[in-house]
Amino acid sequence: MGRKFEVRKVAMAKTMAMKSKVYSRFGKEIYMVAKAGGTNPDANLSLKHLIDRAKKAQVPADVIKRNIQKAEKGVGEDYMPNRYEGFGPGGTAIIIDTLTDNLNRTVSEVRNCFTKVGCKMGVSGSVEHGYNHLSYITVKGMSEEEVLETLLMEDIEILELEEEDGIVEIEGNGFDLDKIQDALKEVNEDIEIIDAEQGWYPSVFVELDPESQAAFEKMIDMLNEVEDVQEIFHNAKDL
């Protein structure tokens, strides 16, 4: 589990390297979550967890506050989530999650990133079947046994659990990210959530030759420049 988690963290670090992109990504998510579930983090736990993640990503407080206020006042765009799938250089399989106020613009810009490296977008489900939707959470302040007992009591499925040097890594279903954190906080409010991410993790990785790697990295750079792109998941090995 640790290896998969580290691979994903490296990929995310590369994908979200630009500060402005990080701010935009979290700003949109905070606005949408606050608009859907309310602007009070104590009453909207999804918003609370999202704010915690934003702070760990060093998103400025004014960016967080501004987007919550936009949701509270009912001003701002209506973003729609959409997912695109496709096949990249060297046979890589790519999933792209977006938030957009203009679907036609977004699909055109995403498709352009594929065509510029001689690749094509696929239909819905063409890539997703090779991925697992998972949550990865690392915590400090509870033992592996305590975590296990807590989550079993809440009837939350645990796919994998591992403890090393006082840090517990938890692998669960993708939709259980908030439930896992809430359950642990309920029994130990002092527990430290070190990392908490959910996403699409490939079952098999693809090793690229130098030419394919260069084309792949060019494509990822182009996708990162698309304003509406929130997350990029891929199965390129060690990238």
**pLDDT averaged over the chain?**
90
**Taking 70 as the threshold, does the pLDDT of residue 126 lie above it?**
yes
Which pLDDT score, from 0 to 100, does residue 19 have?
65
The residue type at 122: G
Homologous superfamily of 2-73 in CATH?
Integrase, N-terminal zinc-binding domain (1.10.10.200)
Average pLDDT rounded to a whole number, residues 196-202:
91
Angle at 109 between CA 132 and CA 118, to 5 degrees: 75
Which pLDDT score, from 0 to 100, does residue 21 have?
78
Q: Sign (positive/negative) of CA torsion 105, 107, 109, 112?
A: negative
Percentage, residues of the chain above pLDDT 70: 92
> Which pTM does this prediction carry?
0.82
**Taking 90 as the threshold, does the pLDDT of residue 29 lie above it?**
yes
Which pLDDT score, from 0 to 100, does residue 4 have?
59
- Do domains 80-129+204-234 and 130-201 share one topology? The answer is yes
Distance CA 232, CA 239 (A): 12
Which pLDDT score, from 0 to 100, does residue 9 have?
57
Distance CA 122, CA 100 (A): 19
Outline where 57-132 has alpha helix (H): 61-73, 103-115
**Taking 70 as the threshold, does the pLDDT of residue 15 lie above it?**
no
Minimal CA–CA distance to 63: which of 14, 27, 88? 27
Average pLDDT rounded to a whole number, residues 221-238:
92
Average pLDDT rounded to a whole number, residues 185-189:
93
**Taking 60 as the threshold, does the pLDDT of residue 13 lie above it?**
no
DSSP-assigned letter for residue 204? S
Percentage, residues of the chain above pLDDT 90: 82
Is domain 80-129+204-234 in CATH 3.30.70.980, yes or no? yes
When mean pLDDT is compared across 23-27, 53-57, 76-80, 186-190, the lowest value belongs to 76-80
**pLDDT tens digit sequence for 127-175:** 999 999 999 999 999 999 999 999 999 999 999 999 999 999 999 999 9
Distance CA 181, CA 138 (A): 10
Average pLDDT rounded to a whole number, residues 16-38:
84
Distance CA 201, CA 8 (A): 8
Minimal CA–CA distance to 174: which of 151, 198, 138? 198
We find that the CATH architecture of domain 130-201 is 2-Layer Sandwich (3.30)
Which pLDDT score, from 0 to 100, does residue 17 have?
52
**Taking 90 as the threshold, does the pLDDT of residue 67 lie above it?**
yes
Q: Domain ranges in the chain? A: 2-73, 80-129+204-234, 130-201
Which pLDDT score, from 0 to 100, does residue 77 have?
77
In the block, residue with structure tokens 């679907």 = 103
**Residue 162 DSSP SS3:** strand
* 120 close to 114: Cβ distance less than 8 angstroms: yes
Distance CA 3, CA 85 (A): 25
Q: Are strands 93-100 and 229-234 parallel, antiparallel or unpaired?
A: antiparallel
